[in-house]
Amino acid sequence: MSHHGFGPDLAEVFGPSQQDGGPELVQLLTPEGERVHHPEFDRDFSAEELRGFYRDMVLTRRIDTEATALQRHGELGIWAQLLGQEAAQIGAGRALRPQDYVFPTYREHGVAYCRGVDPLNLLGLFRGVDHGAWNPNDNNFGLYTIVIGAQALHATGYAMGIQRDGDVGTGDPDRDAAVIAHFGDGASSQGDVNEAFIFAASYNAPVVFFCQNNQWAISEPIERQSRIPLYQRALGFGFPGVRVDGNDVLATYAVTQAALQRARDGQGPTFVEAYTYRMGAHTTTDDPTRYRLSDDVENWKLKDPIARLAAYLRRNGLAEDAFIDALKVEADELGHYLREGCKALKDPEALSMFDHVYAEETDEIAAQREGYAKYLASFEGSHA
Amino acid sequence: MSTTKITLAKGLNMGLRKAMEDDPKVLIMGEDVGKLGGVFRITDGLQKDFGEDRVIDSPLAESGIVGTAVGMALRGYRPVVEIQFDGFVYPAYDQIVCQVAKMSYRSKGRSKMPMVIRIPFGGGIGAVEHHSESPEAQFAHTPGLKVVACSNPVDGYWMIQQAIASDDPVIFLEPKRQYHADKAELDESATPDPLFTSRVVRAGTDATVLAYGPTVKTALKAAEAAATEGKSLEVIDLRTLSPLDMGPVFESVRRTGHAIITHEAHVNLGMGAEVSARIAEECFYSLEAPVLRVGGFDIPYPASRIEEDYLPDLDRVLDAVDRSLDF
Ligand SMILES: Cc1ncc(C[n+]2csc(CCOP(=O)(O)OP(=O)(O)O)c2C)c(N)n1
């Protein structure tokens, strides 16, 4: 049944809609919090690692809910929520090494957090005080990219640079590097993304294409972008594709880690499809009730990435009260930091808009800055 | 005469609906135009009433949207393409500039391109980067394209229908900050001005202010403010950027001797450059001051919190008027 109501009946082509991601889905932790094993991607996790994932997801969700609230209070113009995608982002983010490089889209708040980007810095773009406050080279975390899919090519080119520097396949874990490109299911339709696949395959570039298939591109369902499971596309471009449960932080970590290692070892690109769901709206300006069924949302709530790890931790006695309490305090502190910090973000000086248009400023820009400064000065006194 | 009070968004929506009713070959294509009714709701309700084959929710691929619209047009349809935001037209730029614009010419007129590409344009809505751009000169500089900009609800209603009826490709610019700003009376039985014409929207005698799209409102406000100081400004809404309709402009400037053009786009090589060159060529002996341009600086749109410093406002227009009159 094509519940989105267009096109031929998808069920006839692929069988019943697979909200569970299908048999190919790599999973290490079920929605009920049961640990399951996988022949290829399984690995052991220490108690500390597991608690670390949990903490990361809780804090990431706090960043998101806090920013959403700040938008509602008029402190941010807009916010792109990640509710439900915490596991996909933490799994991918924690699989990175310092020398790896991230090319994010505009929703990678969890990955940014893993890279050590001050979460306050994420707010500037959405508040309208800058186009991105962090230095991409401080944490090897690029600026957010709003034009859908553009960064897939940048990631590939950067990976080709790593190759030329000889920083792949040396066997030195501190040297070999990989690149990860984040994008959504909608982005998979862009020419840029498909061209990135071709370059990456053709040059065997050390890049991982990490797609969070959250089922929706604003109002367009995944069926509008692809008639086959997305991960299967990779094969057509000549590199492996894996579909992982994006609500399972352990599986996402294991799969991404393996893909990054392939890249660092010089074995070329991998496509990772993190199968997940956008629990909230596309952004704070979107109204999903116009196009999607609340049944689906309810269904996906049962797969919440944080609840499932919590269940596992509790069942195995890994989350004592002290840990939970300390985390709660930490999350509240983070919330407070973001609230106060956001309100304190200053509007830029008007004349700063002329800065950095070029690395080598032109006389024309200098003259325009000067002219505008004089113009502003002409109001002083008169309007005050 | 029965009139309704409508916003620009409503005018465009009604105009699209009318065009679809009048001609079964008219199609709407774009991201989120169906169920959602577009991110600005300009196509609201159209898919419900005309079906999914005529209001086509497309994959997230601008080059794909415009490129397939080319094929649809070649097959005899009249696609109206929605680009979600101005900053996202560039992935389709190759199709628009190399294919859409040249089809008539290279086929010796055998293949027409009756396509409308709707682009919400300009700043002032406090958006993040790539959601506020003023790309009009890039298209107006491309032979084979026609470029128009509406500025008010009534024009929105008529101009979109006229653009769809045109056998040439029309880049249709919609000032997004005006979508829900003001209401105006629409008389659906009226006879509209032809599409590719400019229009005097306020008569005056001391100086001519030229504007289009979002700056028409700015110019009208400036004229109002100037009137309180005893200065009479004539305001012309250019409405069409390619072709330009300079007749009313020349007539006005010959009377006033002063011309100021304002747009949000960067001044360097913007529409103002072309307009002022033509005024200089035609009205040289009537001019009492050089033609002045008031526009955006030659920088990318800044972060939205200082966007108001980038965008030409009433004060900057008045300042230019003073400089012109004092010359
Ligand atoms: C080239 C381009 N076209 C349109 C848009 C407007 N837009 C912003 S987000 C979005 C949907 C993106 O969906 P997807 O790639 O699945 O990522 P998600 O936001 O769901 O994570 C669209 C259409 C854009 N930013 N860039």
Count of other CB atoms within 10 angstroms of residue A173: 10
Asked whether residue A2 carries a pLDDT value surpassing 70, the answer given is no
Nearest chain A CA: its distance from B303 CA (Å)? 5
What pLDDT sits at residue A18? Answer: 66
Of B35, B305, B306, the CB nearest to A290: B35
DSSP string, A163-226: HHTT-SSSS-TTT---EEEEEETGGGGSHHHHHHHHHHHHHT-SEEEEEEE-SEETTEEGGGT-
Are B310 and A129 in contact (CB < 8 Å)? Answer: no
Q: What is the mean pLDDT of residues B93-106?
A: 98
What is the C-alpha to C-alpha distance for residues B128 and B22, in angstroms, rounded to an integer?
Answer: 38
Give residue A304's region: left, alpha or beta (phi > 0; psi -120 to 50): beta
Overall residue count recorded for chain B in this entry:
327
Whether A84 lines ligand 1, by a CB cut-off of 6 Å, is no
Q: What is the mean pLDDT of residues B192-198?
A: 98
Mean model confidence pLDDT for chain A: 94
What is the C-alpha to C-alpha distance for residues A285 and B203, in angstroms, rounded to an integer?
Answer: 40
Q: Is B58 on the interface with A (CB under 8 A)?
A: yes
Whether B88 lines ligand 1, by a CB cut-off of 6 Å, is yes
In this prediction, what percent of chain B has a pLDDT beyond 90?
A: 99
Whether A214 lines ligand 1, by a CB cut-off of 6 Å, is yes
In this prediction, what percent of chain A has a pLDDT beyond 70?
A: 95
State the pTM of this model. 0.95
Supply the residue whose CA is at minimum distance from atom 12 of ligand 1: A217
Q: Which residues pair with B260 in a beta bridge?
A: B209, B292
Are A191 and B88 in contact (CB < 8 Å)? Answer: no
Q: Which of A107, A278, A308, A369 is catalytic?
A: A278
Query: Coil, helix or strand for A242?
Result: strand
Asked whether residue A14 carries a pLDDT value surpassing 60, the answer given is no
Asked whether residue B179 carries a pLDDT value surpassing 90, the answer given is yes
What is the C-alpha to C-alpha distance for residues B313 and B124, in angstroms, rounded to an integer?
Answer: 11
Q: Which residues of A293-318 are buried (b: 16+ CB within 10 A; e: fewer)?
A: eeebbeebeebbbbebbbbbbeeeeb
User: Helix, strand, coil: what percent of chain A each, to 5?
Assistant: 50, 10, 45
Are A190 and B88 in contact (CB < 8 Å)? Answer: no
Q: Which residues contact B299 (CB under 8 A, 6 or more apart)?
A: A353, A354, A357, A365, A368, B266, B310
Whether B91 lines ligand 1, by a CB cut-off of 6 Å, is yes
Overall residue count recorded for chain A in this entry:
384
Task: Tell the residue number behind the tokens 């490129």, with chain if given.
Answer: B67
Q: What is the pLDDT of residues A321-364, one digit of tens each?
A: 999 999 999 999 999 999 999 999 999 999 999 999 999 999 99
Mutation pick from B32, B60, B83, B294 vs chain A, by most beta carbons of A within 10 Å, is: B60
Mean model confidence pLDDT for chain B: 98
Q: What is the pLDDT of residues A146-176, one digit of tens each?
A: 999 999 999 999 999 999 999 999 999 999 9
Q: What is the pLDDT of residues B249-292, one digit of tens each?
A: 999 999 999 999 999 999 999 999 999 999 999 999 999 999 99
Asked whether residue B205 carries a pLDDT value surpassing 70, the answer given is yes
Q: Which residues of A268-286 are buried (b: 16+ CB within 10 A; e: fewer)?
A: bbbbbbbbbbbbbbbbbeb
Asked whether residue A1 carries a pLDDT value surpassing 50, the answer given is no
What pLDDT sits at residue B271? Answer: 98
What pLDDT sits at residue A20? Answer: 84
Q: Is A278 a catalytic residue?
A: yes
What is the C-alpha to C-alpha distance for residues A170 and A176, in angstroms, rounded to an integer?
Answer: 6
Q: Is B3 on the interface with A (CB under 8 A)?
A: no
CA B245 to chain centre: 14
The three-point CA angle B281-B286-B292 to 5° equals: 70
Query: Coil, helix or strand for A91?
Result: helix
Q: What is the mean pLDDT of residues B53-69?
A: 98
What pLDDT sits at residue A289? Answer: 93
Cα of A276 from ligand 1 centre, angstroms: 16
What pLDDT sits at residue B2? Answer: 81
Give the HSE-up count for residue A209: Cα atoms under 13 Å, Cβ half-sphere: 40
Asked whether residue A383 carries a pLDDT value surpassing 80, the answer given is no
What is the C-alpha to C-alpha distance for residues B290 and B327, in angstroms, rounded to an integer?
Answer: 8
Give the pairing of strands B78-82 and B116-121.
parallel
Residue A144, amino acid: Y
Task: Tell the residue number behind the tokens 């996909």, with chain if given.
Answer: A88
pLDDT classification of A9: cutoffs 50, 70, 90: low
Q: Which of A282, A308, A312, A369 is catalytic?
A: A282
What pLDDT sits at residue B1? Answer: 67
Two structure tokens written together for A219: 């109002």
